[in-house]
Structure 1
């Protein structure tokens, strides 16, 4: 069973790759690789950009440009960048969500922001 709207395959016989990039920042730093984004635009290369809520808040003018560029598909990378769990399990030294409500908030609140 798949979630509606989630792509699991492409209808093509061509050899293709999907480029995906996470925009989530680090503690105290929410920059991004403008040179990479400019290259993708210059070369007309599509990509999916997964945006985190904190990164969105720190980069509103850039977010508006990315969302309005047809080369980029925007994905949800969570509100707080917490690994989704129902028991607080961490990943990469990041504490996870502790219950279903926190999982919902992590995903839904950022979805509304996007």
Structure 2
């Protein structure tokens, strides 16, 4: 449960996320704490796990949407960019340990990790 003051404040950021973005955020709880995550691998896993859905079924559209979702999480300061490519795209990222703990707790509470 999220009981301490910091956890409650962080949970507000999660509750403010659009519904479609919440599972993508919780997915970070599957990675080890303080792990640098390759953006390409992460977004492809989101697509494979059907966390990213496009009506057309077009793979390129799904990849673009996944990248948009990752950028949205970064702009909300929920995810940190570890490295960028030469053209400014996210190459790898990580999540702060407190937010990682939030992902794990919320993921368990919502049966996201089944």
Provide the TM-score with structure 1 as the length reference. Answer: 0.26
**Greater Rg, structure 1 or structure 2?**
1
Provide the TM-score with structure 2 as the length reference. Answer: 0.26
Q: Which has the higher contact order (CA 8 A, sep 6+)?
A: 2
Higher helix proportion (structure 1 or 2): 2
